[in-house]
């Protein structure tokens, strides 16, 4: 039986300097951590507000920020109506430069960068946020078509107002 020294085993296995291997592994860990923190600058998109929002809401800015784990869409919106609202929600459709649909996002008044909840007071501005994980648009969105989502209500003339529908796939089970 041939016995080999520990130094001989290390040389054969390529582990002559184990501290180099440790530094390489540590470097890979640091590089992976830095890459995971990378995010792109927010990009503004042009907002096309639908008629049902006129006189009630003003959109100051809309932006998209992508990173390696997903995407955040932000909507800076102001309540310009004369009343506070407790359930404001918005549906946005994003389109690219060739007017192709990219994706849709839902915004709720309590999901905002300021952390505010409760009534959305007249004159108040919030940065509503809608995020995704591991979803990115294939083409660059440049336009946001924004709708207000509200319960349908009957007006003074008996006509149904509000209740903007959300376009999307529907599945029916038999």
Answer yes or no: is 131 within a domain: yes
Residue in the block written with tokens 């296995």: 13
Q: 74 and 31 in one domain?
A: no
Asked if the structure places residue 18 within a domain, the reply is yes
49 and 96 in a single domain? The answer is yes
Looking at the fold, whether 26 and 47 belong to one and the same domain comes out as: no
For residue 112, the model assigns a pLDDT of: 87
Kindly state whether residues 11 and 63 are assigned to the same domain: no
Q: Which CATH number is 143's domain given? A: 2.60.40
In this prediction the pTM is: 0.65
Is 65 found in the same domain as 30?
no
Tell me: do 56 and 80 sit in the same domain. Answer: yes
Together in a domain, 22 and 74: no
How far are the Cα atoms of 13, 19, 25, 68, 119 from residue 16, in angstroms, in the given order? 8, 9, 16, 38, 67
Assess whether 15 and 74 both reside in one domain: no
| 74, 118: one domain | yes
Regarding whether 134 and 61 lie in a shared domain, the answer is yes
Considering its fold, how many domains does the chain have in total?
Answer: 2
In a domain, 166, yes or no: no
104 and 32 housed in the same domain: no
Domain of residue 72: give its range: 43-161
- Is residue 173 situated within a structural domain? no
Closest C-alpha among 132, 86, 79 to residue 108 = 86
Same domain, 27 and 63: no
CA 79 to CA 62: how far, in whole Å? 15
pLDDT tens over the chain, length 174 residues = 556 566 665 555 555 555 666 666 666 565 555 444 455 788 888 888 877 777 889 999 999 988 888 888 999 999 998 888 888 899 999 999 999 999 999 999 899 888 888 888 999 999 999 988 877 788 889 999 999 886 555 556 655 455 554 444 444 444
């Amino acid at each position: 039986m041939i016995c080999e020294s520990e130094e001989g085993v290390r040389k054969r296995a390529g582990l002559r300097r184990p501290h180099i291997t440790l530094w390489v592994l540590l470097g890979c860990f640091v590089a992976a951590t830095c890459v995971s923190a990378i995010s792109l600058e927010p990009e503004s998109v042009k907002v096309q507000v639908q008629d049902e929002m006129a006189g009630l809401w003003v959109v100051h800015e809309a932006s998209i920020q992508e990173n390696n784990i997903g995407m955040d869409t932000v909507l800076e919106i102001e309540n310009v109506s004369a009343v506070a609202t407790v359930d404001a929600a918005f549906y946005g459709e994003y389109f690219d430069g060739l007017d192709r649909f990219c994706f849709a996002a839902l915004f709720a008044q309590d999901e905002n960068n300021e952390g505010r909840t409760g009534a959305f007071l007249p004159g108040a501005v919030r940065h509503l946020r809608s995020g995704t994980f591991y979803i990115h648009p294939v083409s660059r969105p440049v336009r946001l078509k924004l709708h207000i989502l509200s319960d349908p209500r009957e007006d003074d003339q008996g006509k149904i107002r509000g209740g903007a529908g959300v376009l999307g796939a529907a599945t029916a089970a038999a």
